[in-house]
Structure formats: C-alpha cells, structure tokens
Amino acid sequence: MNDLKGKSIGIVCLSGGMDSCVTAAIAVREVLPAFLHVNYGQRTEERERRAFQQIADFYKAAPERRLCVDLDSLHRIGGSALTDEHIPVPKFERLEEGTPAILPVTYVPFRNTLILSLGVAWAEALKAERVYIGAVAEDSAGYPDCRPEYFEAFNRLIEVGSSLGGRLKVVTPLIRMKKADIVRKGMELGVPFQLTWSCYEDSEEACGRCDSCLRRIRAFHEAGLQDPIPYRG
C-alpha cells in the first residue's frame, strides 16, 4: 500500500471492529494509511489489539505506521460498562430504533474526542491531511459523539486549534450508511471480516448476545451474506 506515489498520509482510527476495518479498506484507496489504536481500558482490549495488528498486517502497514496509545487511566474515570467491571454489559438487550431516554451504559465518556485528538496529534507530526474514523450515525441515538454535527464541530476545532488548520480534516465515510450496507461495501472491497472483533466480551468466540453482536448478526443477515467469525453455541 505504501509504494504508490502522490498520495498523502492519512491516519486511520482502527479499533479492530468491522466498521473501522471497512473504513480502513476505503482509506487505503485514498491515502497512505497510518493506523491508530487506543486502549481506553476497555475489557476487550487484548482481543481488539490482536485484531488491530492482524488488520494492519493485512494492509501491509510498516511498524512506524502503527501506533497503539495506552490511555488505561480512563479505567479510573469509569462511568461505562465497557471499562468498569462493576457495571454489567447488558445481555439480550432489545435493539431500539428510537432515541433512548437514557444514555446506554456502554457509552464511554468523550471517547471519540480522545481518539480523534490523538489522531490529530499524530497527523500534525506526520503532516497527514486526513483522519478517518468509522462512526455510524445510525448508532447516534445513544452516543452523542457519533452524530454528523459532532464531526462538524470537531473539524472546526481542528481549523482553529491545530497547526495544520483547515488542511487537516476528520472524515467519516460510513456516517450515513446502514449497517447492512457497510457489510456489502466491505465485501466489495475485500475486507478481511474474519480478522475483525465486535463482541463486548473478551473471548475466542463472539458471544452472539450482546448489543454489538446483535447489530453485527442482523447486518450480515440483512445483507444476505455469511459472517466468517465463529459465535458460541
């Protein structure tokens, strides 16, 4: 990927989940990718980091184009089921279509801002012109930091607050897509879905029952395609 001429560098936020992997597949056609992974103290970090490295291998990223940032002191902040082991991750949660009255317990305080800020800091050092993130507005009913307005506000922040000014932009290629269309797009682009990890549990096989697994299973079902990862029982 890194031998093409004329491409600028782009930072790709890569959690290791399917949305970030489809985003990576889109990014590598447009930029020389530099992959960023953030450990914010999530329970599934070990499994996610393995997915990150395997996907970065798949896209032939050199070691200097991979950055894992440890921010595990966020664990001390807590406030989310994904980082605080005293808050259970919900099971058999119904996938709500409307806006929930309360914030999901899986919301991690200001997570996307932390990830994007690290992306911008690295972009400034590498003189990159794009930071890619696989946010999906469909999820935004629960997460304030997945909405298009949020990314507009973040780009304004970069414009006034970074040394690159308006030359650097956060881009969200999946923002208006349905989950099933993301699966179809990924298949078109040869995304290695078998390497991705979406489950809120840290195990060898996905649980198939948490909110994140349910969304993924439904997306592959609606797309009429086979999910290559193994699910428990």
Confirm or reject binding of residue 106 to a copy of itself (CB under 8 A): no
Listed ranges 19-27, 42-50, 156-164, 190-198: which one lies at the site for a copy of itself (CB under 8 A): 156-164
Cα dist from 62 to 2, 59, 110, 111, whole Å: 8, 9, 30, 26
The rounded distance, in Å, linking the Cα atoms of 88 and 103 is 15
Closest approach of a copy of itself to the CB of residue 217, in Å: 28
Q: Which of 27, 51, 120, 136 binds a copy of itself (CB under 8 A)?
A: 120
Confirm or reject binding of residue 105 to a copy of itself (CB under 8 A): no
The rounded distance, in Å, linking the Cα atoms of 2 and 94 is 43
Q: With respect to a copy of itself, which residue has the nearer C-beta, 144 or 230?
A: 144
**Structure tokens given for 95:** 């996938």
Confirm or reject binding of residue 2 to a copy of itself (CB under 8 A): no
Confirm or reject binding of residue 87 to a copy of itself (CB under 8 A): no
Contacts with a copy of itself by CB under 8 A: the residue count is 41
Q: Where on the chain is the footprint of a copy of itself (CB under 8 A)?
A: 67-71, 73-74, 76-79, 103, 107, 109-114, 117-118, 120-122, 124-125, 144-145, 147, 149-150, 153-154, 156-157, 159-163, 165
